[in-house]
Structure 1
Amino acid sequence: MPLDPQDLGDLVAIRDAGTLSAAARLRGVAVSTVSRRVAALEEALGLQLVDRRTDGVRLSREGLALAEAAAPLAEQVRRVERVAESLRQGARRVPVRISATEFVISDVLAPALGRLWAMGADVPVHLQSQADIVSLAGRDADLAIRMVRPEGASLYARRLADIRLGLFAAPGYLGARAPEELDLARERLLIYDESYGRLPELAWVERHGLAEAVAMRTGSTRGLLAAALGGGGVAMCPAPFALRTAGALVEIPPPSPLPSRQPWLIVHRDLRGLAGIRLVQKWIVEAFAGLPGGG
């Protein structure tokens, strides 16, 4: 029985994604479809490629070895699909899909949308609110904005303007106390959780012995700002967004400089040369560079 490149691609996706359900999302098909294809591949090769356990499906030793061998072919198939879609874009207006966190979309990109049209863009954009990692190779999105530089030879990453972090509190929380006199170890700190990975500011909190002062953790920038505005404590958050509160928050001097956020604009190398993608990239770079109070 001849091998189906689709089946081999599913095997590689299981290796990359780690689970059957994640591989199905990566491939854009149902879990049952991936399971059926893998079973067909096992029958064709006469090998057990996955270990089916109560806690999920994992590649066997043979499956891992075969996935390694199939990876170049799977990438070549994806490349053909990307080139074909690029050629189709010349005949119709295909949306440029941008994956970013909800706050980047609502407070960086959406407010700057008029600038994109002013630059002469004639392609629609799809702003996808996603905190998790997307597969540009699998065509989950065309562009992605993330706070951690990705790995992968097929990806091109451009560092955007740094985003300065700061400590902010409402005047009602401070009362009569001067901002520079605060002992952060005695305050209620509002900080990010690890939704986006091990962010540098979390290490800063531990280095200064402030872990016991943390009163709230969240993956939501808007949640941090809302808690600070409500008098919930001292929030560690991106300065450009806190400064937009028109004086409703007061910046607190930190005991040592806070690390800056380092956002990255990511695109698959096969798409970089498309005129629409290039223009949208330029717009994103300018949108981040224009943030107030940036680093």
Structure 2
Amino acid sequence: MPLDPQDLSDLIAIRDAGTLSAAAKVRGVAVSTVSRRIETLETALGLQLVDRRTDGVRLTGAGLAIAQMASPIAEQMRRVERLATSLRQGIKAVPVSISATEFVISDILAPALDRLWAIGADFPVHLHSQADVVSLAARDADLAIRMVRPEGASLYARRLADIRLGFFAAPKYLGGRSPDVINLQSEKLLVYDDSYGRLPELEWITRQGLSDAVVMRTGSTRGLMTAAQAGGGIALLPELFAARSGSLIPIPTPIAMPVRQPWLIVHRDLRSLPTIKIVQKWIVSAFAAL
């Protein structure tokens, strides 16, 4: 019985995701489909690849060995699919897809795009503004920038330059009050939600007893800024972003707020590709210039 690349990709997804349900989500199919494909693969190879337990599934030693051997094959198939998509769309070169938050896309990467061309990129890039954590295993993106370090042996993560945050308000909201006399516990605070994971600044807000002062949460940095500019409250914002507004006033805090630690994430199977290397270098330089 010939092997189906789809079945091998499902096996790799189970290895990377850790559960059948997570693997099915990565692959975009039902759990029953993944289970059936794995059974078909086990029959074709005459090996038990997955150890099905009451607390989940684990790849057997044979399963891990097959998944390791199949990884380059699955990656090559994905590259063929990407090339076919590019050819259908009339794109000469395979684009590199980058997933990041709205702020990173609009205020860090997009303004630095000229530097990408300057270091020799001759291929298009797709910048996807996404709050949700995409699956690099399923190639929802080639690279991702996230504010929480991911887990997974198949992923390579590199820490980027820190992003400093602070509270900012418009003169309209302050009404002539000095920023130095503001007691945040008595104000209206506009902060992030947990779209990007449990960010250190959210933990800080809880520890400082400021949770009851929060009147708005959102995953949108621009939403926070426009609300602050309209006088809706004191917003938690990246310092770089707030400074560019030209109208917001920093509000000091008695205890320093922790910095945000962004991570550049790439699947290990892609790290050696020339285009990925160029994009990684560009992203690191864009953050270093902050």
With structure 1 as the length reference, what TM-score do the two structures score?
A: 0.80
Contact kept in structure 2, 1:147 and 1:264, CA below 8 Å: yes
CA-to-aligned-CA distance 1:202-260 (integer Å, 9 cap, x gap)? 111121111111111111111111111111111111111111102x1000011111111
| More deviation, 207-216/133-142 | 133-142
Q: Partners of 2:25 and 2:266 in 1: how far apart? A: 19
1:82-101 correspondence runs (5 A)? 82=75, 93-101=93-101
For 2:97, give the aligned amino acid.
R
**Any unmatched runs of 5+ in structure 2?**
84-91
Is residue 78 of structure 1 aligned with residue 77 of structure 2? no
- Confirm or deny: 8 A CA contact 1:94 1:124 kept in the other structure: yes
Q: Which whole-Å deviations, capped at 9, do the CAs of 1:155-196 have from their partners, x for residues lacking one?
A: 222111100001100010001100011011110011111111
Could you give the per-residue CA deviations for residues 97-120 of structure 1, whole angstroms, max 9, x where no partner exists?
111123321222122212211222
CA distance in 1, matches of 2:20, 2:132: 15
SS at match of 2:57: helix
Q: From the superposition, tell whether residues 32 and 119 of structure 1 become closer, same or farther in structure 2 (CA, over 3 Å).
A: same
**Aligned pair in 2 of structure 1 residues 67, 11: CA closer, same or farther (>3 Å)?**
farther
CA contact (8 A) 1:83 1:270 kept: no
Is contact 2:163-2:262 (8 Å) kept? yes
Question: Could you tell me which residue of structure 2 aligns to residue 263 of structure 1?
Answer: 262
3-state SS of 1:64 partner: strand
In structure 1, the residue matched to 2:274 is 275
| RMSD (CA atoms) | 3.3
Q: Distance in 2 between matches of 1:4 and 1:86?
A: 17
**Cα pair 1:228 1:235 within 8 Å, conserved:** yes
Q: Which stretch of the first structure deviates more once superposed, 8-17 or 147-156?
A: 8-17
SS state of the match for residue 266, structure 1? strand
Letter in structure 1 aligned against 2:218: T
Identical aligned residues as a percent: 64
1:124 corresponds in structure 2 to: 124
> Tell me, what secondary structure is at the counterpart of 1:141?
coil
User: Which amino acid letter does the alignment assign opposite residue 134 of structure 1?
Assistant: V
User: Are the aligned partners of 1:147 and 1:261 in contact in 2 as well (CA < 8 Å)?
Assistant: yes
**Alignment coverage as a number of residue pairs:** 278
Q: Work out the CA distance in 1 between the residues paired with 2:55 and 2:236.
A: 48
Distance 1:3 1:275 in 2: 30
Structure 1: segments with no counterpart, 5+ residues: 51-58
**TM-score, reference length from structure 2:** 0.82
